[in-house]
Amino acid sequence: MSTPRRPPTGADVARAAGVSRATVSYAMNDVQDARIPEETRRRVREVAADLGYEPRSDARSLRRGRTDLVIVPTYVVPFGQLIQRFLDGLARELHGLGHTLVIHGNPAAHGIEAAKAWGALNPTVVLVLPERMSAEGVEYLTARGTAVVALGHSAVPVALTLGIDHAAAGGCAAEHLIAGGRRDFAVVVPREPGLAEIGRERLAGFRACAEAAGGSVRVVEMAESAAEAARIVGEWRAGDCPDGVYGYNDEYAALLLGAFADAGLDVPGRLAVVGTDDLTLCEMVRPRLTSVAFEEVIPMRAVAAAIVAAGEGAVAGELTLWRMAMRVRESG
């Protein structure tokens, strides 16, 4: 009896067409933003047809011992609006490429414990913030055929990094405040776990820019509550008040704006306030809030295709998702 023929894989197509696995994924999923020459795209699809390669078939998932799921772990702190919008858009694009994004897992799990929980679903990719990963966990998932994609800069080597430059957001805010003549700064770092790490990255970018311009920076730890904002502003009103405040994000900055109004401190006359994320909230508060916006650098479909390619075995390095831009309003 003859041995059943092994179904073709993306690697087979890549070898036959003389291209990378990533190029096969881009071409087969018809990603127009991937900058693949049309001749290459056509050749890959012709080779795939000759070999009988079908990248979206259910048999392919069974054959490889994993599903077409892209897992995003749950977190103790809910996703902010920026990341939630990103995940919503990514889910739509992944669906168009034959994959399903799923939010899953124990929000308190880290390292190998978390990796085993994620791996239980046999996903093609796990998309995770770096602080939830460990070298052991990445090795465990990779050995099972699951690619790890980091949402932010990772000290552990992964298949793909989706870069978010939080330091650049802080630097952008500092440059704006310095240009407005401010030199005595307070920078908010959230008390909440998960947000504190991002806050420290933004602080580092702000501090580097501010100190290079001769400014001083004080660090203010703050919980996301009106009572906490009132306490901080009360201390400033009674003592040494900064003339420029970087409120971590728009929600924290808006809480401080309300506390400044209650305390009778003029914004932007006495001090300027800047947030981050450029949410609709910025237009709802008074004075309207100046904010650092995240502008899309790479189309979402290309991001989804890169994630799919990582699941196919491609090692793509890093993609930068956003660039920073100021949205200047009334608060400074």
pLDDT in tens, 275-319: 999 999 999 999 999 999 999 999 999 999 999 999 999 887 899
Choose the weakest-confidence range: 58-72, 151-165, 188-202, 240-254. Answer: 58-72
Nearest 10 degrees: Cα torsion 222, 224, 225, 228: 0
Q: What is the pLDDT of residue 62?
A: 44
Tell me whether the CATH fold assigned to 65-158 matches the one assigned to 166-295. yes
pLDDT tens digit sequence for 14-38: 999 999 888 887 787 665 555 778 8
Please tell me the predicted confidence (pLDDT) of residue 60. 46
Mean pLDDT along residues 166-186? 98
**If you classify domain 166-295 with CATH, what class do you get?**
alpha beta
Q: What is the pLDDT of residue 252?
A: 98
- The domain defined by 65-158 folds into Rossmann fold (3.40.50)
Collapsed DSSP state (helix, strand, coil) of residue 189: strand
Mean pLDDT confidence for 108-132: 92
Q: What is the mean pLDDT of residues 116-145?
A: 93
Range with the poorest average pLDDT among 46-50, 86-90, 216-220, 249-253: 46-50
pLDDT band at 235 (very low <50, low <70, confident <90, very high): very high
Q: What are phi and psi of 277, to 5 degrees?
A: 115, -20
**Quick one: pLDDT band at residue 144, thresholds 50, 70, 90?**
very high
The DSSP line for 211-263 is HHTT-EEEEEEE-SSHHHHHHHHHHHHHS---SEEE-SSHHHHHHHHHHHHHH
| Bigger pLDDT: 20 vs 190 | 190
Q: Which whole number is the average pLDDT over 45-73?
A: 73
**Helix or strand (DSSP H, E) at 177:** helix 166-179
Give the residue among 175, 169, 180 at the shortest CA–CA distance from 211: 175
- The secondary structure element, H or E, covering residue 51 is helix 38-51
> What CA–CA distance (Å, rounded) separates 99 from 118?
16
pTM of the complete model: 0.77
Would you say domain 1-63 falls under CATH 1.10.260.40?
yes
Tokens at 121, concatenated: 């679903």
Give residue 26's pLDDT.
Answer: 78
Look at residue 316 in the predicted model and tell me its pLDDT.
Answer: 77
CA 49 to chain centre: 36
Note whether 98 and 56 are within 8 A (CB).
Answer: yes
- Domain spans of the chain, in order of start: 1-63, 65-158, 166-295
Percent of the chain past pLDDT 70, that is, above it, reads 93
Q: How far apart are CA 302 and CA 309, in angstroms?
A: 10
Query: Counting runs of H as helices and runs of E as strands, what totals does the chain give?
Result: 13, 12
- The pLDDT value recorded for residue 57 is 44
Predicted pLDDT of residue 4: 52
Q: Taking residues 216-245, what's their average pLDDT? A: 96
The conformation of residue 153, written as its DSSP 8-state character, comes to -
- Per-residue pLDDT at 55: 66
- What is the model's pLDDT at position 153? 87
The sign one gets for the Cα dihedral 125, 126, 127, 129 is negative
What is the overall mean pLDDT for the chain? 91
